Each structure stands twice: as C-alpha cells, then as structure tokens.
Structure 1
Amino acid sequence: MANNNIILTETEENDLNVFFQFQLDCEANYLAAFTSKNPNDKNAYLEKYTKHLADPTIHMRTIKVNDVIAGSIAKYVMENEAGITYWIDRKFWGQGIATTALQGFLKVEKVRPIYGRAAFDNYGSQKVLGKCGFVKIGTDKGFANARQTEIEEFIYQLSA
C-alpha cells in the first residue's frame, strides 16, 4: 500500500457504472450481505444511486487509488441515525485502502455518533471499523438478500 495514492473525490454519475460492476462480484456481494434484491438490475441500481447523489442527507465519495476507482464510501441517515457504508472492489482488498479511505472520510464527515454495520462473518469490514475507532455496541438480525436468509450483523459506533 505504501505506493498507493488514495484519494476521495466527489461521486459523479459516471462513477455509478463502475460501482455497479463491483457489486456484481458474487464473493463481495455475499460478504456485504445486505444488498439489493437483484444485483443484476442495472437500471434499478443507477436509478437508486442517482437519487442518492442529489440527496443532501447522503454524503457520497468515490475512492480512487492511483487515479483508478477502487470503491465508494458514504454517510447516510436511516431512522434519524447517521450510518457509514463503503464498498471496495475485490482486487483492492487486503491493502488497507478501506481503512485509509474511512479515516480520510471521517475527517470531513463530522456527524457523530455515526454507526457502521457488518455481517457477523465479514471480518475484513469489522477490522476496518475497529481500526477507525468504531466500537462494537450490539447485534441485530436482518434478511440478507445476497444470502437469501436472515443473518446476524454487528453494530459499531463512533462517538467522537
């Protein structure tokens, strides 16, 4: 990772086409767990995320590594609580990119507390949250579209 130049840029509509391709990866989709009902429906994906770009409660950024789109990161609000979500293309896994991107994002996104969630078996995402100061505060269960079953997810919080 030492040679990687990791930057966050404002997400543009064209970036969504790349993000759509990332979420077609079966292994990544499985680990994310809580995904769309039909990850192959590009029109539904683009419609949903194009609306997100215009939503003032959503703060989306594109993660670039050496000028290549490597993922996305966003703050959203659900049930009056700020949450964080990110997705890293699998070819960039294990390089510290998610941690670096989340640390950078949290310097500009000041809403606290902010929550993160990870499937019980998504150890990579759990490690990223922990390295960025999030503390595990509980668990929840929900239907994971990518797995077609209910699973446990861990809830993390960053207070300061």
Structure 2
Amino acid sequence: MTSNLKIQLKPTRIIDLPILFQFQLDEESGYLAAFMPEDVTDEEAYLSKYTKLLSNSTVNHQTIWFENNIVGSVSKFIIHEDNEITYWIDKKYWGKGIATHALKLFLASEIERPIFGRVVFDNFRSQKVLEKCGFLKVGSDRGFANARQK
C-alpha cells in the first residue's frame, strides 16, 4: 500500500456504467457487499437504476480511476434522511490502498455531514477502510442480504 497512488475521481458518466456493472458480478465481492439486487446479472435493471441516479441532485456518484483505468466507484446518497456513502473496488485492485485513498478524496469534496457508512459485520477490509477515513462505529442492525440469502 502506498500513499502516492495516482487516483482520480471523476463524475460518473452513463458510459462508465457497463464497466461498473461488471465489477458487481464477482461472487466474492457481492458476498462481502451483501446488500445486492435480487438478480445481479440483470444489466438492464442496473443500467436503468444508475442512469436515474446520475440525474438525481442528492446523489454524488464518482468513478474511481487508477492508471487510466476505471477501478471502482464511490457515492453519497440519502437513505432515511441520512447521508450515506458506498464504494466498490474491482477485485483485481484490492489490497492496494485504492479504496482508502479514493474515499479520503471523496470525503474532502463531499461536505455534507453527518455522513454514514454501513458495512456487513464480517467485511473486515471495508471496516478498516472506514476507520482509516475517520468513521466510528455507532451501532448495528440486521437486515436481509440478497447476496447471502439470509
């Protein structure tokens, strides 16, 4: 892991969405994310959902670029009147510090606070990313996760 990563965040464009869709097809990634759509293979539904989100003024959706490649995304959205963040890194780029670096860049420009991040109880890497970015555990809850079917 290095702090000299050449990471860029760029507003997500519709043409980025097919690449981001491919990342979420990885089974291990989906399991760790846990809260996935019922049918992760439905590209039409994915593209429709995210195309609408790109025009939603309450959503800040950024594509993460590393070495001139799209490697993930980071977003702020509102759920139950709370600002929340979510991020996704292509599995090929795990362990390089990209998630932490990208989230720090994102939080420096996304000024709405408070902002929350949710992570499944056994996704220790993502918990570590949130901690490195200043998040504190403030609670826990339970919910059904399609990717785990429980």
TM-score bracket, shorter-length normalisation? over 0.9
Identity among equivalent positions (%) equals 54
Give the TM-score normalised by structure 1.
0.91
Q: Aligned ranges for residues 48-63 of structure 1 at < 5 Å?
A: 48-63=49-64
Distance, in Å, in 1 between the alignment partners of 2:19 and 2:144 is 26
Question: Which residue pairs with 2:12 in the alignment?
Answer: 11
Question: Which residue pairs with 1:101 in the alignment?
Answer: 102
- 1:31 paired to 2:25: no
Distance, in Å, in 2 between the alignment partners of 1:12 and 1:101 is 17
Cα offset for 1:5?
Answer: 1.2
| Aligned residue identity for 2:57 | P
3-state SS of paired residue (2:122): coil
Question: Which residue pairs with 2:22 in the alignment?
Answer: 21
Give the TM-score normalised by structure 2.
0.97
> How many residue pairs align between the two structures?
149
Query: Which structure carries more relative contact order (alpha carbon 8 Å, separation 6+)?
Result: 2
Cα offset for 1:75?
Answer: 0.1
Distance, in Å, in 2 between the alignment partners of 1:30 and 1:7 is 27
Q: Aligned ranges for residues 94-133 of structure 1 at < 5 Å?
A: 94-133=95-134
Question: Which residue pairs with 1:82 in the alignment?
Answer: 83
Distance, in Å, in 2 between the alignment partners of 1:78 and 1:107 is 21
Question: Which residue pairs with 1:143 in the alignment?
Answer: 144
- 1:68 paired to 2:69: yes
Gap regions ≥5 residues in structure 1: 150-160
| Aligned residue identity for 1:8 | L
Cα offset for 1:4?
Answer: 3.6
Question: Which residue pairs with 1:155 in the alignment?
Answer: none
3-state SS of paired residue (1:129): helix
Supply the RMSD in Å over aligned alpha carbons. 0.9
Gap regions ≥5 residues in structure 2: none
| Aligned residue identity for 2:130 | L
CA-to-partner distance for each residue in 1:108-148, whole Å, 9 max, x for gaps?
10011000000000011100000000000000100000001
